[in-house]
Structure 1
Amino acid sequence: MAKLILIVDTGVDDALAIMTLVKNGIKPDFIIAASGNSDLDNTLNNTIEVTKILEENIPVYYGAYRPLIREPYYEDYHGQNGLANYTYEMHEFNKINGIIELYNTLKDEEVDIIITCPLTTLALLFSLEKNIIKNIRRIIVMGGAFALNEYGTGNVGDAEFNIFYDPEAANMVFNSGIKIYTIPLDVTMNPNFSIKDDDLNKMHVNSNESKFIYELVKYMVNRHGSFEMHDPIAALAYLNEKAFKYITGKISVDRNGKTLLTRDEKGSCMVAYSLDINIYQKNVKNLFF
C-alpha cells in the first residue's frame, strides 16, 4: 500500500484537513509544513500543534520557506500566526528536511501526496532527480480557479492563492506527467460547503479538540462572514474519489497564477467541478459540526 504524505501551510483549513483524515481513520505517514498562509516557523508550529491536539504521533518536517524565485507573499487572512491567533506554547521540532525525507521515501516506496499549500516543496523535490517521481502514484492539489462555474473566479485577482504564491512551481508540478487530482475554488467556494454562524451555534464544545476547532472557525466566520472548507474538501478527494466529478486535461499557469485547463482525455490532470453534498456532509462536515 502506498504511503500518504501531506504537505501543508497550516492555517485554519489545513488544520481541519489533517483532522478530516485522522477522523476518517487515515493517518499520514508524515507531514511536511511549508510557507504560504504564514511563514515557515508559524506553519511548522501550527502543524505540530494540530497533531498534539489530535494526540497523534505524526512526524512533522519542514519544506520550502519561500517561492522558487519570488519574494514570499503573506496575507493576514488566517490571523497573524496563520492559525486564527490561537495561542499555544511554541514547540521544539526536529530539523529534518521534508523534501529530502520524501526523496528518500520515493526511492523504495510508492507514495500518494495531498498538498494544500503552494507547490514549491514539490517543485524542489522534482528538481533533485528526473526519475524520482516514478513512485508517486497520484497527487491531490488544493488549488486553482478555472472558471468552470460561477465560483471559480479566483481569490487573488484571477488566481487562487496557492498557485498565485508560486506560479513557476505550480507550472512545473502540473506539467510533470504525474496523475494529479486538482480541487479548485470552482468546488470549494460553493456556499453549500461553507461554514456559517448557524453551524457554529449547533456545535457541541465539550473537549479540547472541539474547543480548538470552535475557536478557529469562529475567528474565520466572525472575520470573513463564512469559512470555506478548501483543504478538508481536498482531503476528501483522497478518502472518496467518487465524491467528485472531474474534467481530464492539461493545466497551464500564467505568471500571475491564473490557471487554464485544456480538455484532453490523454491529459494527466483531473480538475474537479462538482462535489456530492451528501458525501461531503458524511465524511467532512459532520465530523466537526
Structure 2
Amino acid sequence: MSRPIIIDCDPGHDDAINLILAFASPELSTLAVTTSAGNQTQPKTLNNALRILTLLKRTDIPVASGASKPLLRDLIIADSVHGESGLDGPILPEPGFDPEPLHAVELMAQKICNSREPVTLVPTGPLTNIALLLATYPELQTNIERIVLMGGAGAALGNWTPAAEFNIYVDPEAAKAVFESGIPITMCGLDVTHRAQIHEHEISMIREIGNPVARIVADLLDYFCIYHKDPKWGFDGAPLHDPCTIAWLLAPEIFTTQECWVGVETTGELTRGMTVVDYYNLTANPANCELVVDVDRLQFVNLLLERLKFYN
C-alpha cells in the first residue's frame, strides 16, 4: 500500500524537483499540495505549484494556498536564489486547473480526517501552514504519522544568516511550535542537503533522459546552479535541499540519521531561527527529532535519475 502524504511547499526550484520526484514514486500517494509564502510570495508559489502539476498531468491533485506571511513577522523571500517568478529559467506551462477554494489548512485537515491511514506531512518551506494546522485542529494529530521537513541546520552553518537556515529563519515561531508538537519529526537540514549536491555532468545526464519533464528539471538546475556557483559556498554543484525529504521516504537506507532534541531560537539578536541540536543530551530533554546528517550522494543522484525515467 502506498504511503499517504501531503506536500506543503513554496516552489522554488528544489521544491519543484521534489514534487516531480514524489509524483514519479508509486510508493507514495500525494493527497494534496499546499503552498506557503517563502521562496516567493504566496500568489507566485501557488502559481508555480499549479504549473508543475500541469506539467506532470496531475491536475487531479487538489492544490490550495495558505499563509501569505509568517505568524508574527514580515515576509522575507529568496528571490536572489529563485528569481522574480520563483521558478526562473525553464519555460513551464500555464496552470491548467484552478486551486481549491479552501485555505491550505482546511484542505490538509480534510485530507487527514478522511484518510484511513495516518498521513505524513512533507513541508519544504516555512512551517507556517503546519503550525496553523496543529493549532487549529489538534484532534487530528493522532492521524499524522510523521513530519518530514526540509529546514534548519545542526552542525552545519546557516545559509541565510550565520546561524540560521532560510525556512526556519522566515518563521521561527511556527518552527518552534512544530518541533514542540510531539509529532515524530525527520529533519533534513543543511547538514545533509549540502551533501546532496548535483554536479554539472549529472545535470547533462538528466537532460539526456530526453523526456519533457527531465528536460525541465535540467533547466531548473541550470538556473539554480547560478546562485550556488559563488565561491563563498565552496560547492562542487548545487545542493538539492527539498528532494532530500521525498528521497528519505523512498530510500532511508542511503541516509544517516541521529535521534536528538532540537529547539528553535526565536528571540536571539544574532541567532533568530537557529535550530539548536542537543547532540550530547546536555539538556536531558527527550529526543523530538530524527536528524538526517549524511547521504550517499551517488545513490541519491541515481535515485533521481531513475525516477525521472518514469515520465518517458
Counterpart pick for 2:260 among 249, 255, 258: 249
Structure 1 residue 288: deviation in Å? Answer: 5.0
Structure 1 residue 213: deviation in Å? Answer: 1.5
Aligned residue pair count: 283
Rate the CA distance shift 1:201–1:208 in 2: closer, same or farther, 3 A: closer
Q: Does 1:195 align with 2:169?
A: no
Distance in 2, matches of 1:51 and 1:261, equals 36
Aligned residue in 2 for 1:258: 274
SS in 1 for 2:242: helix
Counterpart pick for 1:128 among 128, 133, 136: 136
Distance in 2, matches of 1:80 and 1:44, equals 14
One-letter amino acid of the counterpart of residue 244, structure 1: F
Aligned residue in 1 for 2:45: 43
Structure 1: gaps (5+ residues): none
Q: How does 1:63-212 map to 2 (within 5 A)?
A: 63-76=66-79, 77-88=81-92, 90-91=94-95, 92-109=98-115, 110-147=118-155, 152-157=156-161, 158-190=163-195, 193-202=196-205, 203-204=207-208, 206-212=210-216
Q: Contact between 1:196 and 1:221, CA under 8 Å: does it hold in 2? A: no
Distance in 1, matches of 2:153 and 2:46, equals 27
Distance in 2, matches of 1:243 and 1:205, equals 23
Distance in 1, matches of 2:215 and 2:251, equals 28
TM-superposition CA deviations, 1:27-73 (whole Å, max 9, x none): 41111111110011111111111111111232211121110000000
Distance in 2, matches of 1:277 and 1:90, equals 33
Distance in 2, matches of 1:181 and 1:134, equals 17
TM-superposition CA deviations, 1:200-259 (whole Å, max 9, x none): 334316333233222211112234323211111111111122322211122111121000
SS in 2 for 1:29: strand
One-letter amino acid of the counterpart of residue 237, structure 1: W
Structure 1 residue 165: deviation in Å? Answer: 0.5
Aligned residue in 1 for 2:233: none
Distance in 2, matches of 1:211 and 1:285, equals 12
Rate the CA distance shift 1:78–1:114 in 2: closer, same or farther, 3 A: same
Structure 1 residue 183: deviation in Å? Answer: 0.6
- Report the TM-score when normalising by structure 2: 0.84
Q: Does 1:237 align with 2:239?
A: no
Q: Sequence identity, in percent?
A: 28
Structure 2: gaps (5+ residues): 230-236, 267-271
Rate the CA distance shift 1:139–1:280 in 2: closer, same or farther, 3 A: same
- Report the TM-score when normalising by structure 1: 0.90
Distance in 2, matches of 1:21 and 1:71, equals 31
Distance in 2, matches of 1:275 and 1:223, equals 23
Distance in 2, matches of 1:112 and 1:274, equals 22
SS in 2 for 1:127: helix
Rate the CA distance shift 1:233–1:70 in 2: closer, same or farther, 3 A: same
Q: Contact between 1:8 and 1:31, CA under 8 Å: does it hold in 2? A: yes
Structure 1 residue 281: deviation in Å? Answer: 3.1
SS in 1 for 2:276: strand
Structure 1 residue 278: deviation in Å? Answer: 4.7
Aligned-pair Cα RMSD in Å: 2.1
Q: Contact between 2:204 and 2:218, CA under 8 Å: does it hold in 1? A: no
SS in 1 for 2:261: strand
Q: Contact between 2:213 and 2:308, CA under 8 Å: does it hold in 1? A: no
SS in 2 for 1:10: coil
Rate the CA distance shift 1:276–1:215 in 2: closer, same or farther, 3 A: closer
Structure 1 residue 113: deviation in Å? Answer: 0.9
TM-superposition CA deviations, 1:86-145 (whole Å, max 9, x none): 455653433221201222333343211111111000111111143321111111010111
TM-superposition CA deviations, 1:241-289 (whole Å, max 9, x none): 2322211122111121000112459423110111133531332244459
One-letter amino acid of the counterpart of residue 117, structure 1: G
Q: Contact between 2:10 and 2:124, CA under 8 Å: does it hold in 1? A: yes
Distance in 2, matches of 1:166 and 1:137, equals 23
Aligned residue in 2 for 1:24: 25
